[in-house]
Amino acid sequence: MRRNDVQYYESNGGSAGRVFAGVLIGGLIGAALGFLMAPMSGDELRRTIREEFDEAQERAMSAMEDAQEKGRQMQDKGREVVEGIRGDVENLRDNVKDTVQKRRKSLSKILGG
């Protein structure tokens, strides 16, 4: 079950990045075409482009912050998974150690030691 958690996060991170890049590029192309096709004076066009650029920059920063937060959450989840695995390995090691000691004692009694 834990291995599936890691695979889930790895696969979603990759596709989310592609979707984000596609939306960003598509939005920029659409905005550029809209400006070029709209009947405006040079000053109006420059002001509109500047405003749209500022808004796009704000949206990009917001998306970047969201992605960073998602990355931190994934990192925390990864740490939890690793800690869980570490605990499972330690328990398994202790169980094997106990079993070996019990078998040694049994063997020692059988052999007369």
pLDDT tens digits, 2-55? 555 545 545 555 566 777 778 878 888 887 777 777 777 778 878 888 898 899
- Is residue 77 within 8 Å of residue 5, measured between CB atoms? yes
Q: What is the pLDDT of residue 52?
A: 84
Higher pLDDT, 68 or 34: 68
Average pLDDT of the residues in 96-108: 91
Lowest-confidence pick of 33-42, 75-84, 85-94? 33-42
Say how far apart CA 94 and CA 89 lie, in whole Å.
Answer: 9
- Is residue 63 within 8 Å of residue 20, measured between CB atoms? yes
Higher pLDDT, 40 or 93: 93
Burial (CB < 10 A; 0-12, 13-18, 19+), residue 111, is exposed
Q: What is the pLDDT of residue 1?
A: 42
- Is residue 74 within 8 Å of residue 9, measured between CB atoms? yes
